[in-house]
Amino acid sequence: MNLTDAHCHLQDPRLAPHLDRALEQCRSAGIRRWIINGTRESDWPAVAALAGRIGGAEAAFGLHPWWQAERSANWLAILEAFLVARPSASIGETGLDRWMPSPDLADQLAVLRAHLELSRRLARPVTLHCLKAWPELAGAVRDCPPSDRGLLLHSYAGPAEMIPRWVQAGARFSFSPAFLHPRKANVRRMFRDIPLERILIETDSPDMPPPPDAALLALAAPEGRQLNHPLNLRLCLDALAADRGLTPGALGDILERNVERLFF
């Protein structure tokens, strides 16, 4: 079986001491590709370096709403240069977040629109993050649509009633191990109503870990918290397969076709 982690942050310095061993463990479980998403200008070089060094890794470059306040005046030109230098890279992660402390939604929207325009101009797919700003995100994508390569709503936990609209806008939805927490049971249930050909799986590693008793492997972080091991991608496959009445192997083939169509 071949699986792809559609959204992760393997450039995160907390993973560095574990990375080579963790990827070896992933490969022996059939996980062979990773879309590594940048979050801020300062991590784009590390994302590019990992995509060059790790077989099966692909880069995405973007500004996450949590980090965009620290961007330089030149950030958009720098972002474009990273994308032009790597024609197979996508754009992400970017988006809107009203959950963070003191969100500046007007600034987030300006940065998001710049990413969406770049997606159109360079014909690259885009990965979007959204917390508590779904109507605004839908409005931005309607007014400033990304490239018709498509978009990924990563760790989708938005309203169920918006799913048909997003499907029409070309969106894919990724399921994360964090959705196995009992408090996210409604999100897991919602994924049963998403068209199967629009579903991808991701870990968001090293963040968003599954419940500790579900984790296949955990990694200790310096501050004592557990990191999300990229091997936990298998939890997404097993949960979705159970919910859809498919074998993990059959579902894995479908998910690979889905991710292939968006990113490769």
> Considering the complex, what minimum distance in angstroms separates the CB of residue 129 from Zn ion?
6
> Is 151 strand, coil or helix?
strand
* Stretch touching Zn ion by CB under 5 A, among 49-57, 71-79, 141-149, 198-206: 198-206
Residue 45, preceding peptide bond in cis (omega within 30° of 0): no
Residues within window 126-165 making contact with Zn ion, judged by CB under 5 A: none
> Considering the complex, what minimum distance in angstroms separates the CB of residue 155 from Zn ion?
7
Dihedral angle computed from the Cα positions of residues 188, 172, 63 and 101, in that order, rounded to the nearest 10 degrees: -30
Q: Which residue is nearest to Zn ion (CB)?
A: 204
Question: Looking at beta carbons only, is 115 or 248 nearer to Zn ion?
Answer: 115
Question: Looking at beta carbons only, is 174 or 258 nearer to Zn ion?
Answer: 174
The H or E element containing residue 212 is: none
Amino acid at site 214: A
* Stretch touching Zn ion by CB under 5 A, among 84-92, 163-171, 179-187, 197-205: 197-205
> Considering the complex, what minimum distance in angstroms separates the CB of residue 97 from Zn ion?
11
> Considering the complex, what minimum distance in angstroms separates the CB of residue 184 from Zn ion?
16
DSSP 155: T
* Stretch touching Zn ion by CB under 5 A, among 143-151, 159-167, 200-208, 214-222: 200-208
One residue of 190, 204, 228, 248 binding Zn ion per CB under 5 A: 204
> Using CA atoms, how far apart are residues 97 and 128, in angstroms rounded to an integer?
11
209-217: list long-range contacts, CB under 8 Å, 24+ apart: 209/177, 209/178, 210/177, 210/178, 210/180, 210/181, 210/235, 211/180, 211/181, 211/182, 214/177, 214/180, 215/177, 217/22, 217/25
Question: Looking at beta carbons only, is 129 or 198 nearer to Zn ion?
Answer: 129
Question: Looking at beta carbons only, is 43 or 204 nearer to Zn ion?
Answer: 204
* Stretch touching Zn ion by CB under 5 A, among 114-122, 196-204, 223-231, 237-245: 196-204
> Considering the complex, what minimum distance in angstroms separates the CB of residue 206 from Zn ion?
10
Question: Looking at beta carbons only, is 173 or 241 nearer to Zn ion?
Answer: 173
> Is 145 strand, coil or helix?
coil
Question: Looking at beta carbons only, is 142 or 225 nearer to Zn ion?
Answer: 225
Show the CA angle centred on residue 237, arms to residues 50 and 5, nearest 5°.
15
> Considering the complex, what minimum distance in angstroms separates the CB of residue 9 from Zn ion?
6
Site string for Zn ion, 66-85 (x = CB under 5 A): --------------------
CB atoms within 10 A of CB 114: 17
Closest CA relative to residue 159, chosen from 196, 131, 199: 131
> Using CA atoms, how far apart are residues 206 and 195, in angstroms rounded to an integer?
28
> Considering the complex, what minimum distance in angstroms separates the CB of residue 178 from Zn ion?
11
- Residues lying near Zn ion in the complex (CB under 5 A) are found at 204
